[in-house]
Amino acid sequence: MNYINVGKENSCDINIYYEDHGTGKPVVLIHGWPLSSASWEKQVPALLHAGYRVITYDRRGFGNSSRPYTGYDYDTLADDLHKLMTKLHLRDATLVGFSMGGGEVARYLGRYGTERVEKAVFMAAITPYLLKSADNPAGVEGSIFEGIRQAITADRPAFLTSFLSNFYNLHAFGGKKVSDEVVRLSWNIAAAASPKGTLDCVKAWMTDFRDDLIRIELPTLVIHGDNDKILPFAATGSRTHEAVKGSRMMVLAGAPHGLNWTHAEEVNRELLAFLG
């Protein structure tokens, strides 16, 4: 397996697992919570076939990466991405962030600029700012996040079952665009993640990315489903598009949060058109 070291916790190394395939301009795929880079199964072959170098990695605490007890804030997660970009000497890269991964894209660009990055994609992304406040009335009440934290603490496996039902809109797409086996695979990946990392990431969801987004001057694509029950389009995708000047918006009618699986053909077509 391929790893880069991003730090230490007591006697243990903190290692990030990654895969690096193909040639051509690099595309870095950043997965969502609580899954892993395996969630890009429908995108990797399409990108490789189109002639791109594709890099996927597992966020700390998830997939095959180390499971430290700390470091689940966006500054640290962006630092992990920067270390990967530096280790692989990536230039002219496109960063594609799905869901929570959109936060890494925004914070990476806010912290490290565009020296290594040519384009950005926010796919069903968490940006710009989820927490409701006096200057962010379109956000979500803080009590909702606390309820999620309590549910994870009480019975994380049971919470994941409920979460994935909304992730894929199983009431509409179960047995059609997403099989029981795909849902089971997603549950297995999520259940194997760090319980502490799974819990701590909920706090990270309340990060304010508005200042990061308004500074982005790269070609940017925003992809979102209009029936996203995890990160509703009006609170996230629509506002991300407004925040990033000149960004391109693709709204998938009826698509759920997990649109990179349920609507993979449409997503891949739009992604390749944007890259090309």
Does residue 257 have an active-site annotation? yes
Q: CA 73 to CA 4: how far, in whole Å?
A: 19
Any idea what the Cα angle at residue 167 is, between residues 253 and 274, rounded to 5°?
50
Does residue 99 have an active-site annotation? yes
Single out the residue of 229, 261, 262, 190 nearest to residue 35, CA to CA: 190
What is each CA distance from 270 to 30, 79, 133, 190, 223, in whole angstroms? 17, 29, 34, 28, 9
Q: Which of 66, 224, 228, 241 is catalytic?
A: 228
Any idea what the Cα angle at residue 187 is, between residues 182 and 190, rounded to 5°?
125
Q: Are 274 and 267 in contact (CB under 8 A)?
A: no
CA dihedral angle for residue 206, residue 211, residue 217, residue 220, rounded to 10 degrees? 20
Burial profile 229-264: b = 16 or more Cβ within 10 angstroms, e = fewer = ebbbbebbbbbbbebbeebebbebeebbbbbbbbbb
Number of other residues whose CB lies within 10 A of the CB of residue 79: 18
Q: Which of 31, 224, 241, 257 is catalytic?
A: 257
Does residue 212 have an active-site annotation? no
Q: Are 139 and 232 in contact (CB under 8 A)?
A: no
Q: Pairing relation of β-strands 12-21 and 3-9? A: antiparallel
Q: CA 79 to CA 111: how far, in whole Å?
A: 9
What is each CA distance from 266 to 153, 236, 269, in whole angstroms? 37, 20, 5
Q: Which of 99, 186, 194, 247 is catalytic?
A: 99
Alpha carbon 104 to its chain's center: 8
Report the catalytic residues.
Answer: 99, 228, 257
